[in-house]
């Protein structure tokens, strides 16, 4: 098997034969505040750094060395290429905010997303990569990545427009200047959730979007300006995947998120936990929580990197 085929086999196995529902052909879930992001094809995958490498070293190598090389290969033709660096937090911080929870060792250090205008654009990106560039990319990965879970996921992203939720809430202060407006990165928080045993992926997604997301509006998004659920579906027929959704909240500051958590009463926390128990695996192995540092490469930057050594 050639270098090219061996590299992309994990990426494309089953992809070309996978039926992808045409976005826009079906209405979004019934809740008017929930939007299905349409008009693009997105893939995502998790990666772990090699033992002995610090997170800072990992990020610096990824951003300065690996990103330009990746843009010359499979990122070519992408409209966006993002790396979400993950720092684990205690599990169950909502219902046990004062517990001395042990922060678990995360199996992942970064969640990578590539967004393409269409599925066909992604296929062209795969076809465009040649053997020599893929060999360089694989060799570079071996310098800093631990080869664990290399599965590629189709990402179906649901994003809630929060302006209508925030504007009438007593905790929201529209006079506060945002960190983004001041040139500072917004704060992101994320969680990985697994569905309850016996619950299908379709049932899990339907309950989340049509029921549980309303709790997000009611309890935890008062000062957030992004609330998304990224449903993960492997593009191959391998073993069951460990998590079903990557949920993100973005706020202007730690103070904003802290204020939200501080307003939750014991009864609120119990209500959230009870509802999660209806469709989520609430064991400590069924969920992970992170703070997120996101780096995004635009389409213009991708093309500049890709053309640098073409």
First to last CA, the chain: 25
How far apart are the C-alpha atoms of 83 and 65, rounded to whole Å?
14
How many Cβ atoms sit within 10 Å of the Cβ of residue 307?
A: 11
DSSP three-state, residue 245: strand
What's the DSSP call for residue 280? B
CB distance 251 to 178 below 8 Å: no
Find tokens 């993002």 and name the residue: 82
pLDDT for residue 279: 97
CB distance 171 to 224 below 8 Å: no
pLDDT for residue 171: 43
Q: What is the CA radius of gyration of the chain?
A: 20
pLDDT for residue 151: 86
How far apart are the C-alpha atoms of 169 and 117, rounded to whole Å?
36
pLDDT for residue 47: 95
Tell me which residues of the chain have a pLDDT lower than 70.
1-39, 91-102, 104, 149, 161-186, 222-223, 257-258, 260-261, 309-310
Where does 18-107 show beta strands of DSSP type E?
A: 35-36, 41-49, 80-89
Find tokens 């619950």 and name the residue: 199
pLDDT for residue 90: 75
Collect all residues with Cβ–Cβ distance below 8 Å to 100 and sequence separation of at least 6.
Answer: none
pLDDT for residue 45: 94
Find tokens 């309850």 and name the residue: 196
pLDDT tens digits for range 234-275: 988 888 889 999 999 887 777 776 676 677 888 988 999 999
Region of residue 24 (left: phi > 0; alpha: psi -120 to 50; beta: else)? left
Phi, psi of 94 (to 5 degrees): -70, -50
pLDDT for residue 214: 87
DSSP three-state, residue 253: coil
CA 137 vs. chain centroid, Å, equals 23
> What sign has the CA pseudo-torsion 148, 198, 191, 102?
negative
pTM, whole model, 2 decimals?
0.81
Secondary structure tally for the chain: helices H, strands E: 11, 10
Q: Which of 155, 265, 271, 279 is nearest to 210 (CA)?
A: 279
Residue 25 is encoded by which pair of tokens? 């052909």
CA-CA-CA-CA dihedral for 261, 267, 272, 273, to nearest 10: 110
């Amino acid at each position: 098997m050639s270098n090219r085929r061996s590299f992309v086999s994990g990426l494309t196995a089953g992809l070309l034969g996978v039926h992808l529902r045409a976005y826009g052909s079906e209405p979004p879930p019934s809740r008017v505040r929930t939007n299905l992001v349409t008009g693009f094809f997105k893939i995502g995958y998790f990666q772990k750094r090699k033992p002995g490498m610090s997170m800072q070293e990992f990020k610096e190598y990824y951003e300065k060395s690996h990103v330009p090389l990746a843009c010359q290969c499979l990122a070519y033709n992408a409209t966006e290429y993002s790396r979400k660096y993950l720092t684990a937090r205690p599990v169950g911080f909502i219902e046990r905010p004062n517990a001395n929870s042990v922060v678990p060792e995360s199996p992942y250090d970064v969640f990578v997303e590539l967004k393409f205008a269409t599925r066909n654009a992604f296929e062209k990106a795969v076809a465009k990569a040649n053997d020599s560039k893929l060999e360089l990319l694989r060799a570079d990965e071996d310098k800093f990545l631990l080869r664990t879970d290399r599965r590629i996921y189709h990402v179906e992203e649901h994003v809630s427009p929060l302006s209508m939720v925030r504007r009438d809430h007593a905790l929201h202060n529209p006079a506060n200047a945002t960190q983004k407006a001041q040139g500072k990165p917004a704060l992101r928080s994320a969680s990985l959730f697994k569905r309850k045993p016996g619950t299908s992926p379709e049932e899990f997604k339907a309950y989340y979007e049509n029921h549980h997301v309303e709790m997000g509006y009611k309890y935890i998004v008062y000062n957030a300006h992004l609330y998304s659920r990224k449903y993960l579906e492997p593009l191959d027929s391998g073993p069951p995947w460990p998590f079903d959704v990557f949920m993100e909240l973005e706020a202007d500051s730690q103070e904003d998120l802290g204020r939200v958590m501080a307003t939750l009463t014991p009864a609120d926390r119990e209500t959230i936990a009870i509802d999660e128990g209806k469709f989520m695996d609430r064991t400590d192995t069924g969920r992970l929580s992170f703070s997120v540092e996101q780096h995004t490469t635009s389409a213009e930057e991708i093309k500049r990197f890709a053309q640098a050594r073409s």
